[in-house]
């Protein structure tokens, strides 16, 4: 029974199409989860709204604690890592990570970067071999197949890999590197573009993205051998 970790990183609290100035990335992520659960009622979801409740930035205490062997940590070190431990536990428990995020100034929002910094943890999500300088890192989230669904919203257009403005988009490449670093290599991308243009360009992009989300839900449910459980009549 797959478990979904649903993360929203947009600074906008509402959902486009429903709320004034609502978030397009939230619209995609909520559409994915609602479509999934409409077909598979038994599957569970952990929701974390880091756009409205950002994770803490790492600081000196965090670094000192994370790079101290667990059995040698003092009580204050355990406190310093408590939030990170919870975020890592949520990630480890998931089979699908659904990330709804806008593209802000060429990259990911600060809240999403803070989440990435909290979940890349030595000996929790990444093994570290200090004796091997050339191949010292080993992803630890390889115990089972995990997928990441990255659902983005961009103000500009033609920013996908290989397109004219791709050089200005460092969101997906950066996030992919972080996820692959911990062992999540099955990545799926859907984007809404043209938010700054608006009009028919944006409307067409939204409609196409919502259709892609629905197709991806079906494909992943087949890939994960998920079996629907229908409500009684």
Instruction: Record the tokens describing residue 112, joined without a space.
Output: 């999403």
- Rounded CA gap, 124 and 140, in Å? 7
pLDDT digits (tens, 9 = 90+) for 193-221: 998 889 999 999 999 999 999 999 999 99
Closest CA to 24 of 215, 212, 207: 207
pTM for this prediction = 0.93
Q: What is the pLDDT of residue 37?
A: 92
**pLDDT one-digit tens code per residue, 79-126:** 999 999 999 999 999 999 999 999 999 999 999 999 999 999 999 999
Candidates 3.40.50.360, 3.40.1390.30, 3.90.550.10, 3.40.190.10; CATH matching 3-223: 3.40.50.360
**What are the start-end ranges of the H helices in 40-95?**
60-66, 75-80, 82-93
User: Looking at the DSSP assignment, which residues form a beta bridge with residue 191?
Assistant: 152
Q: What is the mean pLDDT of residues 48-64?
A: 98
CA atoms of 179 and 120, how far apart (whole Å): 9
Per-residue pLDDT tens over the stretch 135-157: 689 999 999 999 999 999 999 99
* Known binding residues for FMN: 10, 23-25
pLDDT reported for residue 233: 42
Binding site, by residue number, is: 10, 23-25
3-state secondary structure of 42: coil
pLDDT greater than 70 at residue 231: no
């Amino acid at each position: 029974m797959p478990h979904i970790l649903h993360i929203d990183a947009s600074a906008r609290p509402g959902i486009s199409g429903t709320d004034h100035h609502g978030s397009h990335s939230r619209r995609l992520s909520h559409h994915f989860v609602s479509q999934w659960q409409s077909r598979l009622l038994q599957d569970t979801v952990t929701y974390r709204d880091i756009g409205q409740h950002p994770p803490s930035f790492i600081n000196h205490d965090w670094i000192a604690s994370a790079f101290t062997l667990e059995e040698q940590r003092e009580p204050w070190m355990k406190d310093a890592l408590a939030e990170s431990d919870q975020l890592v536990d949520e990630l480890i428990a998931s089979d699908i990570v659904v990330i709804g995020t806008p593209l802000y100034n060429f990259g990911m929002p600060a809240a999403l970067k803070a989440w990435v910094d909290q979940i890349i943890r030595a000996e929790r999500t990444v093994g570290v071999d200090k004796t091997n300088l050339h191949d010292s890192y080993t992803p630890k989230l390889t115990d089972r197949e995990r997928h990441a669904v990255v659902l983005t919203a961009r103000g500009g257009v033609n920013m996908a890999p290989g397109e004219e403005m791709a050089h200005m988009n460092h969101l997906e490449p950066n996030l992919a590197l972080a996820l692959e670093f911990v062992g999540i290599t099955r990545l799926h991308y859907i984007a809404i573009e043209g938010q700054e243009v608006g009009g028919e360009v944006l409307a067409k992009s939204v409609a196409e993205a919502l259709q892609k989300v629905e197709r991806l839900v079906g494909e992943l449910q087949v890939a994960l051998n998920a079996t629907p459980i229908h409500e009684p009549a």
